[in-house]
Structure 1
Amino acid sequence: MLRLGTVLLLLCFALPFAASAVEWEVDRLEIESSDGNRHVFNIELAVTPEQRAQGLMHRESLAEDWGMLFLHRRDQVLSMWMRNTLIPLDMLFIDRRGRIVRIAERTTPMSERAITSGRPARAVLEVPGGTVERLGISKGDRVIYSAFE
Protein backbone atom coordinates (compact mmCIF):
# COMPACT_ATOMS: atom_id res chain seq x y z
CA MET A 1 0.00 0.00 0.00
CA LEU A 2 1.31 3.44 -0.98
CA ARG A 3 1.79 6.00 1.73
CA LEU A 4 0.12 9.40 1.41
CA GLY A 5 3.46 11.19 0.98
CA THR A 6 4.40 8.88 -1.91
CA VAL A 7 1.05 9.46 -3.61
CA LEU A 8 1.39 13.25 -3.28
CA LEU A 9 4.93 13.12 -4.66
CA LEU A 10 3.76 11.06 -7.65
CA LEU A 11 0.92 13.51 -8.32
CA CYS A 12 3.33 16.46 -8.23
CA PHE A 13 5.39 14.86 -10.98
CA ALA A 14 2.47 13.49 -13.00
CA LEU A 15 0.18 16.56 -13.18
CA PRO A 16 2.43 18.77 -15.35
CA PHE A 17 2.75 15.94 -17.86
CA ALA A 18 -0.99 15.26 -17.86
CA ALA A 19 -1.73 18.92 -18.61
CA SER A 20 0.49 18.85 -21.70
CA ALA A 21 -0.72 15.46 -22.93
CA VAL A 22 -3.27 16.97 -25.34
CA GLU A 23 -2.32 16.04 -28.90
CA TRP A 24 -3.44 17.97 -31.97
CA GLU A 25 -4.26 16.78 -35.45
CA VAL A 26 -3.10 19.31 -38.04
CA ASP A 27 -4.91 20.09 -41.29
CA ARG A 28 -5.57 22.99 -43.67
CA LEU A 29 -8.62 25.02 -44.60
CA GLU A 30 -9.42 27.99 -46.82
CA ILE A 31 -11.57 31.04 -46.34
CA GLU A 32 -13.11 32.45 -49.50
CA SER A 33 -13.86 36.15 -49.10
CA SER A 34 -16.75 37.90 -50.85
CA ASP A 35 -14.20 39.48 -53.23
CA GLY A 36 -13.13 35.98 -54.37
CA ASN A 37 -9.78 35.95 -52.57
CA ARG A 38 -8.85 32.71 -50.82
CA HIS A 39 -6.84 32.62 -47.63
CA VAL A 40 -5.18 29.35 -46.55
CA PHE A 41 -4.69 28.47 -42.89
CA ASN A 42 -2.89 25.61 -41.21
CA ILE A 43 -5.12 24.50 -38.36
CA GLU A 44 -5.01 22.42 -35.25
CA LEU A 45 -8.27 20.56 -34.67
CA ALA A 46 -10.02 20.73 -31.30
CA VAL A 47 -12.65 17.99 -31.43
CA THR A 48 -12.46 16.17 -28.09
CA PRO A 49 -13.61 17.73 -24.80
CA GLU A 50 -9.97 17.79 -23.61
CA GLN A 51 -8.79 19.57 -26.75
CA ARG A 52 -11.63 22.09 -26.64
CA ALA A 53 -10.92 22.77 -22.93
CA GLN A 54 -7.20 23.37 -23.62
CA GLY A 55 -7.58 25.36 -26.84
CA LEU A 56 -4.90 28.00 -27.32
CA MET A 57 -4.33 28.52 -23.59
CA HIS A 58 -0.82 29.41 -22.43
CA ARG A 59 0.54 30.03 -25.94
CA GLU A 60 2.70 33.10 -26.30
CA SER A 61 2.31 33.42 -30.06
CA LEU A 62 0.46 32.08 -33.09
CA ALA A 63 1.80 32.42 -36.64
CA GLU A 64 -0.35 34.58 -38.93
CA ASP A 65 -1.30 31.63 -41.18
CA TRP A 66 -2.24 29.31 -38.28
CA GLY A 67 -5.40 28.80 -36.30
CA MET A 68 -7.41 26.35 -34.25
CA LEU A 69 -10.73 24.92 -35.41
CA PHE A 70 -13.15 23.92 -32.64
CA LEU A 71 -15.51 21.41 -34.26
CA HIS A 72 -18.81 20.26 -32.77
CA ARG A 73 -21.05 17.40 -33.90
CA ARG A 74 -24.22 19.46 -34.10
CA ASP A 75 -25.32 23.05 -34.47
CA GLN A 76 -25.69 24.92 -31.20
CA VAL A 77 -25.12 28.36 -29.77
CA LEU A 78 -21.39 28.22 -29.04
CA SER A 79 -19.69 30.07 -26.22
CA MET A 80 -15.97 30.73 -25.87
CA TRP A 81 -13.75 32.60 -23.44
CA MET A 82 -10.15 33.70 -23.18
CA ARG A 83 -9.22 32.24 -19.79
CA ASN A 84 -5.46 31.61 -19.68
CA THR A 85 -5.15 32.73 -23.31
CA LEU A 86 -2.20 35.09 -23.56
CA ILE A 87 -2.69 36.50 -27.06
CA PRO A 88 -5.59 38.38 -28.67
CA LEU A 89 -7.58 36.27 -31.13
CA ASP A 90 -10.17 36.76 -33.84
CA MET A 91 -12.99 34.21 -33.45
CA LEU A 92 -14.98 33.19 -36.51
CA PHE A 93 -18.22 31.33 -35.75
CA ILE A 94 -19.13 29.01 -38.65
CA ASP A 95 -22.40 27.24 -39.50
CA ARG A 96 -22.73 23.69 -40.88
CA ARG A 97 -22.59 25.02 -44.46
CA GLY A 98 -19.25 26.69 -43.80
CA ARG A 99 -20.60 30.25 -43.69
CA ILE A 100 -19.21 32.67 -41.13
CA VAL A 101 -22.19 33.73 -38.99
CA ARG A 102 -20.38 35.95 -36.48
CA ILE A 103 -16.93 37.40 -35.94
CA ALA A 104 -15.42 38.55 -32.63
CA GLU A 105 -12.28 40.55 -33.38
CA ARG A 106 -9.25 41.07 -31.17
CA THR A 107 -10.66 39.32 -28.11
CA THR A 108 -9.19 40.33 -24.76
CA PRO A 109 -6.47 38.01 -23.41
CA MET A 110 -7.20 36.36 -20.05
CA SER A 111 -10.85 37.49 -20.05
CA GLU A 112 -13.54 35.20 -18.68
CA ARG A 113 -16.30 37.10 -20.48
CA ALA A 114 -18.40 34.79 -22.65
CA ILE A 115 -18.12 35.31 -26.40
CA THR A 116 -21.05 33.61 -28.11
CA SER A 117 -22.07 32.79 -31.65
CA GLY A 118 -25.47 34.39 -31.02
CA ARG A 119 -27.10 31.76 -33.24
CA PRO A 120 -26.51 28.06 -33.95
CA ALA A 121 -23.03 27.32 -35.27
CA ARG A 122 -21.02 24.16 -35.90
CA ALA A 123 -17.50 25.45 -35.32
CA VAL A 124 -15.24 28.28 -34.19
CA LEU A 125 -12.01 29.17 -35.96
CA GLU A 126 -9.55 31.08 -33.80
CA VAL A 127 -6.80 33.00 -35.61
CA PRO A 128 -4.36 35.68 -34.45
CA GLY A 129 -6.00 38.98 -33.51
CA GLY A 130 -6.09 41.38 -36.45
CA THR A 131 -6.31 38.65 -39.10
CA VAL A 132 -9.92 39.46 -40.02
CA GLU A 133 -9.08 43.10 -40.67
CA ARG A 134 -5.79 42.34 -42.44
CA LEU A 135 -7.37 39.86 -44.88
CA GLY A 136 -10.77 41.55 -45.24
CA ILE A 137 -12.71 38.55 -43.92
CA SER A 138 -16.36 39.25 -43.14
CA LYS A 139 -19.61 37.68 -42.00
CA GLY A 140 -21.04 35.54 -44.80
CA ASP A 141 -17.63 34.50 -46.18
CA ARG A 142 -17.22 30.80 -46.83
CA VAL A 143 -14.91 28.42 -44.97
CA ILE A 144 -13.87 25.55 -47.21
CA TYR A 145 -13.21 22.43 -45.16
CA SER A 146 -14.40 18.81 -45.27
CA ALA A 147 -16.46 19.10 -42.05
CA PHE A 148 -18.83 21.60 -43.69
CA GLU A 149 -21.54 20.80 -46.27
Structure 2
Amino acid sequence: MAGLARLAGFFAAFFFLTSFGASAAETFDTQSLTIVTRDGRSHAFTVELAVTPRQREQGLMHRREMAPDHGMLFAFGETRQVFMWMKNTYIPLDMLFIAKDGKITAIKENAEPHSESIIDSKGPIDFVLELNGGTVKRLGIRTGNRIQNELVESMRKAKQP
Protein backbone atom coordinates (compact mmCIF):
# COMPACT_ATOMS: atom_id res chain seq x y z
CA MET A 1 0.00 0.00 0.00
CA ALA A 2 2.85 2.41 0.84
CA GLY A 3 4.40 1.63 -2.55
CA LEU A 4 1.13 2.48 -4.28
CA ALA A 5 0.90 5.82 -2.41
CA ARG A 6 4.52 6.60 -3.33
CA LEU A 7 3.79 5.77 -6.98
CA ALA A 8 0.68 7.97 -6.95
CA GLY A 9 2.75 10.79 -5.44
CA PHE A 10 5.37 10.35 -8.15
CA PHE A 11 2.76 10.59 -10.90
CA ALA A 12 1.16 13.65 -9.28
CA ALA A 13 4.56 15.38 -9.07
CA PHE A 14 5.39 14.33 -12.64
CA PHE A 15 2.07 15.70 -13.92
CA PHE A 16 2.59 18.99 -12.06
CA LEU A 17 6.14 19.44 -13.32
CA THR A 18 5.36 18.54 -16.92
CA SER A 19 2.24 20.70 -16.93
CA PHE A 20 4.14 23.68 -15.51
CA GLY A 21 7.07 23.06 -17.80
CA ALA A 22 4.84 22.86 -20.85
CA SER A 23 3.20 26.20 -20.14
CA ALA A 24 6.50 27.85 -19.28
CA ALA A 25 8.11 26.46 -22.43
CA GLU A 26 5.95 28.32 -24.94
CA THR A 27 7.97 30.20 -27.52
CA PHE A 28 6.87 33.32 -29.36
CA ASP A 29 7.63 34.73 -32.80
CA THR A 30 8.48 38.44 -32.88
CA GLN A 31 7.56 41.32 -35.16
CA SER A 32 8.05 45.04 -35.21
CA LEU A 33 5.16 47.24 -34.12
CA THR A 34 4.78 51.01 -34.31
CA ILE A 35 2.37 53.18 -32.34
CA VAL A 36 1.47 56.35 -34.23
CA THR A 37 0.07 59.19 -32.14
CA ARG A 38 -2.49 61.70 -33.40
CA ASP A 39 0.21 64.34 -33.81
CA GLY A 40 2.19 62.00 -36.08
CA ARG A 41 4.90 60.87 -33.65
CA SER A 42 5.78 57.21 -33.89
CA HIS A 43 7.15 54.81 -31.30
CA ALA A 44 8.76 51.53 -32.38
CA PHE A 45 8.66 48.28 -30.42
CA THR A 46 9.61 44.65 -30.89
CA VAL A 47 6.70 42.48 -29.82
CA GLU A 48 6.30 38.81 -29.13
CA LEU A 49 3.16 37.36 -30.71
CA ALA A 50 0.69 35.45 -28.54
CA VAL A 51 -1.62 33.88 -31.12
CA THR A 52 -2.34 30.34 -29.89
CA PRO A 53 -4.47 29.58 -26.82
CA ARG A 54 -1.40 28.29 -24.94
CA GLN A 55 0.66 31.36 -25.82
CA ARG A 56 -2.17 33.68 -24.76
CA GLU A 57 -2.56 31.74 -21.51
CA GLN A 58 1.13 32.06 -20.68
CA GLY A 59 1.61 35.62 -21.89
CA LEU A 60 4.23 37.43 -19.83
CA MET A 61 3.73 35.27 -16.74
CA HIS A 62 6.83 34.40 -14.73
CA ARG A 63 8.98 37.05 -16.44
CA ARG A 64 11.06 39.25 -14.16
CA GLU A 65 11.90 41.93 -16.73
CA MET A 66 11.25 43.16 -20.25
CA ALA A 67 13.32 45.55 -22.36
CA PRO A 68 11.84 49.08 -22.53
CA ASP A 69 11.18 48.83 -26.28
CA HIS A 70 9.57 45.38 -26.15
CA GLY A 71 6.07 44.09 -25.55
CA MET A 72 3.63 41.30 -26.29
CA LEU A 73 0.79 41.43 -28.80
CA PHE A 74 -2.16 39.12 -28.11
CA ALA A 75 -4.26 38.24 -31.18
CA PHE A 76 -7.62 36.60 -30.50
CA GLY A 77 -8.66 35.76 -34.07
CA GLU A 78 -12.07 37.33 -33.53
CA THR A 79 -13.67 40.53 -32.34
CA ARG A 80 -14.90 40.11 -28.76
CA GLN A 81 -14.78 41.54 -25.27
CA VAL A 82 -11.59 40.43 -23.50
CA PHE A 83 -10.80 39.97 -19.82
CA MET A 84 -7.17 39.90 -18.66
CA TRP A 85 -5.43 39.54 -15.28
CA MET A 86 -1.94 39.73 -13.82
CA LYS A 87 -1.72 36.37 -12.02
CA ASN A 88 1.91 35.17 -11.90
CA THR A 89 3.08 38.34 -13.68
CA TYR A 90 5.99 40.04 -11.92
CA ILE A 91 6.25 43.30 -13.86
CA PRO A 92 3.65 46.10 -13.97
CA LEU A 93 2.13 46.38 -17.44
CA ASP A 94 0.27 48.90 -19.54
CA MET A 95 -2.45 47.11 -21.54
CA LEU A 96 -3.67 48.64 -24.78
CA PHE A 97 -6.93 47.24 -26.14
CA ILE A 98 -7.00 47.45 -29.94
CA ALA A 99 -9.74 47.13 -32.57
CA LYS A 100 -9.26 45.18 -35.81
CA ASP A 101 -8.37 48.41 -37.66
CA GLY A 102 -5.42 49.00 -35.30
CA LYS A 103 -7.07 51.79 -33.32
CA ILE A 104 -6.46 51.82 -29.55
CA THR A 105 -9.91 51.81 -27.93
CA ALA A 106 -9.03 51.50 -24.22
CA ILE A 107 -5.94 51.54 -22.00
CA LYS A 108 -5.21 50.11 -18.56
CA GLU A 109 -2.07 51.71 -17.15
CA ASN A 110 0.22 50.08 -14.60
CA ALA A 111 -1.70 46.86 -14.03
CA GLU A 112 -0.65 45.54 -10.62
CA PRO A 113 1.70 42.53 -10.60
CA HIS A 114 0.15 39.28 -9.27
CA SER A 115 -3.33 40.79 -9.10
CA GLU A 116 -6.23 38.50 -9.97
CA SER A 117 -8.53 41.49 -10.50
CA ILE A 118 -10.19 41.36 -13.89
CA ILE A 119 -9.07 43.95 -16.44
CA ASP A 120 -11.89 44.51 -18.93
CA SER A 121 -11.43 45.66 -22.53
CA LYS A 122 -14.68 47.61 -22.05
CA GLY A 123 -15.97 46.52 -25.45
CA PRO A 124 -15.19 44.27 -28.39
CA ILE A 125 -11.56 44.25 -29.55
CA ASP A 126 -9.22 42.01 -31.56
CA PHE A 127 -5.82 42.61 -29.94
CA VAL A 128 -4.16 43.50 -26.66
CA LEU A 129 -0.70 45.04 -26.55
CA GLU A 130 1.18 44.72 -23.26
CA LEU A 131 4.04 47.14 -22.61
CA ASN A 132 6.10 47.89 -19.53
CA GLY A 133 4.13 49.87 -16.96
CA GLY A 134 4.61 53.61 -17.40
CA THR A 135 5.24 53.44 -21.16
CA VAL A 136 1.82 54.91 -22.02
CA LYS A 137 2.41 57.94 -19.81
CA ARG A 138 6.05 58.38 -20.81
CA LEU A 139 5.26 58.38 -24.55
CA GLY A 140 1.89 60.15 -24.39
CA ILE A 141 -0.03 57.24 -25.90
CA ARG A 142 -3.81 57.76 -25.91
CA THR A 143 -6.98 56.08 -27.09
CA GLY A 144 -7.48 56.87 -30.75
CA ASN A 145 -3.79 56.33 -31.54
CA ARG A 146 -3.10 53.55 -34.03
CA ILE A 147 -0.72 50.67 -34.19
CA GLN A 148 1.00 49.47 -37.33
CA ASN A 149 2.01 45.84 -37.40
CA GLU A 150 2.21 43.04 -39.98
CA LEU A 151 -0.03 40.63 -38.02
CA VAL A 152 -2.70 43.27 -37.37
CA GLU A 153 -2.68 44.27 -41.04
CA SER A 154 -2.90 40.68 -42.29
CA MET A 155 -5.79 39.87 -39.93
CA ARG A 156 -7.62 43.08 -40.91
CA LYS A 157 -7.34 42.19 -44.60
CA ALA A 158 -8.47 38.60 -43.94
CA LYS A 159 -11.68 39.87 -42.30
CA GLN A 160 -12.66 42.17 -45.17
CA PRO A 161 -15.47 40.88 -47.41
User: Does the alignment pair 1:109 with 2:83?
Assistant: no
Higher Cα Rg: structure 1 or 2? 2
1:59 maps to 2:86? no
Q: What is the match of residue 5 of structure 1?
A: 7
Shift of 1:5: 2.3
State the one-letter code of the partner of 1:5.
Answer: L
Aligned residue for 1:83? 87
Partner of 1:133: 137
The alpha-carbon deviation at position 23 of structure 1 amounts to 1.1
1:28 aligns with 2:9: no
Corresponding residue number in structure 2 for 1:98 = 102
Gaps of 5+ in 2: 157-161
- Once the two structures are aligned, what percentage of the paired residues are identical? 44
Distance 2:82 2:20 in 1: 29
5+ residue gaps, structure 1, are none
Equivalent residue pairs, number:
147
1:94-132, CA deviations, whole angstroms, 9 ceiling, x for partnerless residues? 000000000000011101111111111000000000000
Q: Select the residue among 141, 147, 154 that pairs with 1:143.
A: 147
Relative distance call for 1:18 and 1:99 in structure 2 (3 A) is same
Deviation at residue 16 of structure 1 after TM alignment = 4.8
TM-score normalized by the length of structure 2: 0.84
Q: Report the alpha carbon displacement of residue 35 of structure 1 after superposing the two structures with TM.
A: 1.5
**In structure 2, distance between residues paired with 1:108 and 1:28:** 26
User: What is the root-mean-square deviation of aligned Cα atoms in Å?
Assistant: 1.8
